[in-house]
C-alpha cells in the first residue's frame, strides 16, 4: 500500500497502475484491491493530513491515481448477471461532496452481481422515493462528516426506509469517527470498507431485518 501511495504522490501513475494490477493478479478480487489497496491508500493519506504531513493536493493526487488504476483493472465475471441480480441504491446526502469511496463500493457490489444505482448529494426525501420507485432491495449511505444536520437527515432516512421495509447499510468516515452513530440512527449494518459491504449486503438481502438490539457490524 505504501508503495502505491508513494507512486501516487510522486505523480507516477504508471507505477501506481502496475502496483494495482499486480495486487489484482495476486488476490484475484477487485473487492480486495478496493478494500486493502485503494481504500487503505485513502486512509493512509487522510491520517497523514490530520497530523499535518499531507496536503489537500496530496489527497487529490492519490484519488486520481486510484481512479486511473481502478479503470485499468480487468473486471471479473459477476457472480450473478446484473440483469438478474438484486437492485441496491447507494448514495450520499447533500451537501456531501466526497464520492470516490461510494463509487469504489459500487464497483465491488457490481462484481458481486448487484444492479447498482448511485445517487450523489441527494435530498433525503428524493432518496427514499427513488429507492421505492426503482424497486431497490437494499439502500447504502455514505457520510464523511458528522454534523447535527447530517445526523438528523440520516435518522429520517433510516426511519422512512424501514417504514417501507428496506434495510439500510452505512459506511464512511463519519461512522468510523463516531462508532455509536450507526446505532443512533438505527441502521441495520455498518461496513468499514468495500469487502465487508459486499458480505453484509448479501446477508441483509437474504435475512429478515434484525431488531434494533442486534445490528450487524463488520469488523
Q: What is the pLDDT of residues 65-103, one digit of tens each?
A: 999 999 999 877 765 555 667 999 999 999 988 889 899
From the CA atom positions of the chain, what is the Rg in Å? 17
21-41 in b/e burial notation, b at 16+ Cβ within 10 A? eebbeeeebbbbbbbbbbbbb
pLDDT greater than 50 at residue 208: no
Query: What pLDDT sits at residue 207?
Result: 61
Kind plus residue range of the DSSP H or E element containing 115: strand 115-122
Domains of the chain: 2-72 (1.10.1240.10), 87-217 (3.40.50.280)
Residue 197: name the closest of 168, 158, 165, 174 by CA.
168
Query: What pLDDT sits at residue 166?
Result: 94
Q: Could you give the angle at the alpha carbon of 173 between the alpha carbons of 69 and 128, nearest 5°?
A: 95
- When comparing pLDDT for 170 and 76, which is higher? 170
DSSP letter at 94?
T
Cross-strand bridge partners of residue 89: 117, 139
The most confident of the ranges 29-33, 53-57, 152-156 is: 152-156
Structural contact between residues 104 and 191, judged by C-beta atoms closer than 8 angstroms: no
What backbone phi and psi angles, to 5 degrees, belong to 171? -165, 175
Amino acid at each position: 500500500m505504501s508503495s502505491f501511495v508513494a507512486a501516487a504522490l510522486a505523480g507516477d501513475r504508471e507505477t501506481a497502475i502496475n502496483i494495482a494490477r499486480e495486487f489484482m493478479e495476486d488476490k484475484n478480487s477487485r473487492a480486495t484491491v478496493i478494500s486493502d489497496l485503494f481504500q487503505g491508500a485513502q486512509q493512509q493519506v487522510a491520517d497523514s493530513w490530520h497530523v499535518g504531513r499531507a496536503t489537500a493536493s496530496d489527497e487529490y493526487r492519490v484519488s486520481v491515481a486510484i481512479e486511473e488504476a481502478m479503470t485499468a483493472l480487468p473486471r471479473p465475471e459477476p457472480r450473478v448477471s446484473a440483469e438478474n441480480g438484486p437492485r441496491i441504491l447507494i448514495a450520499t446526502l447533500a451537501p456531501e461532496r466526497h464520492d470516490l469511496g461510494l463509487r469504489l463500493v459500487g464497483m465491488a457490489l457490481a462484481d458481486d452481481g448487484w444492479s447498482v444505482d448511485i445517487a450523489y448529494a441527494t435530498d433525503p426525501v428524493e432518496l427514499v422515493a427513488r429507492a421505492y420507485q426503482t424497486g431497490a432491495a437494499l439502500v447504502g449511505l455514505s457520510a464523511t462528516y458528522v454534523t447535527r444536520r447530517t445526523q438528523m437527515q440520516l435518522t429520517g432516512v433510516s426511519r422512512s426506509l424501514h417504514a417501507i421495509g428496506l434495510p439500510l447499510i452505512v459506511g464512511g468516515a463519519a461512522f468510523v469517527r463516531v462508532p455509536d452513530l450507526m446505532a443512533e440512527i438505527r441502521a441495520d449494518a455498518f461496513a468499514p470498507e468495500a469487502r465487508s459491504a459486499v458480505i453484509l449486503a448479501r446477508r441483509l438481502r437474504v435475512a429478515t431485518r434484525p431488531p434494533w438490539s442486534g445490528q450487524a457490524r463488520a469488523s
